[in-house]
Amino acid sequence: MTATRSDQTAPCFGYCRDCRTTHRVPSGEAPAHAHSLMREFEEIRRLDYRVPDDQADPKLGFDQLFPGDRGHMFGVLECRDDHGSTVVLRAFSSLRGGIRDIDGWVPPILSADSYYGIVLPGTEEIQRATRELESLAAKTPNASSLRRERTRLSQDLWRDMQSLYRFENFRGENRSLKDAFAHRPEGKQTIPAGVGECCAPKLLNHAARNALTPIGIAEFYWGAVDSSSTRKPGDFYSCCESRCQPILGFLLCGLNGV
Ligand SMILES: [Zn+2]
Ligand SMILES: [Zn+2]
């Protein structure tokens, strides 16, 4: 089945191979919750909102996180819990510098064990090879073999990561990134880097793991005017096509009535 016009305008959707249909979440009241979050951002200008000013971590202040023309994507997911109460989850798309968990925000999809045990050491090894390469003359035999070694390290790490990322959906099914990613028949058969690091998958995965039913979602950009693209602070954006849509079909599966 092809996507209908309403699928195109829903903020969050993806084609599910199992049901052969497109699952989606509407905006609901999420934009209003997002506007409250923006007001909080304007006021406190940092992400560790649950601690008082004098305990704030300078690394989580907007001045350090988003200097110059930098900005970032944020998301809110409006949910219902088992008792019918509204729960609003918030997420930031993944930050640099190893910032993963901040109290009051949904956790990353990649577990701490996987990150600190495999992904971080693997990334550091690749970075070491890159630094070493920069210090060698480009055409020496040493440089060629180091370049091949770095490529192998990257490919190995990426293959591991595709198994280490685990997604859960609203049917209680659990799949690795490799198995959850729905390739388009006409599309490239490679999975892009960064899948699972945007707000929508983090929010939905957390909701599914905690028996929360999503009823509305909003993702917005915040920070400086993005010089490299057309994103504007405070504007809302749909789930991204390359990294999110191919896994959202699986992630949203089992979510009835939306
Ligand atoms: Zn995305
Ligand atoms: Zn489905």
Ligand 2 centre and the CA of 258: distance in Å?
12
Ligand 2 centroid to 20 CA: how many Å?
7
**How many A from CA of 176 to the centre of ligand 2?**
16
User: How far is ligand 2, taken at its centre, from the CA of residue 115, in Å?
Assistant: 29
pLDDT value, residue 187? 64
Q: What is the pTM of this model?
A: 0.90
> Cα 164 to the chain's mean position, in Å?
15
> What is the Å distance from ligand 1's center to 239 Cα?
5
Per-residue pLDDT 10s for the chain (258 aa) are: 333 334 446 899 999 999 999 999 999 999 999 999 999 999 999 999 999 999 999 999 999 998 887 889 999 999 999 999 999 999 999 998 889 999 999 999 999 999 999 999 999 999 999 999 888 877 788 888 999 999 999 999 999 999 999 999 999 999 999 999 987 766 666 899 899 999 999 999 999 999 999 999 999 999 887 777 678 899 999 999 999 999 999 999 999 744
Ligand nearest to the CA of 241: 1
67 and 77 Cβ atoms separated by less than 8 Å: no
For 187-214, b where at least 16 C-beta lie within 10 A, e where not — what string? eeeebeeebbbbbbbbbbbbbbbeebbb
Give the separation between CA 204 and CA 251, rounded to whole angstroms: 7
The CA 135 to ligand 1 mean position distance, Å, reads 35
How far does residue 163's CA lie from ligand 2's centre (Å)? 21
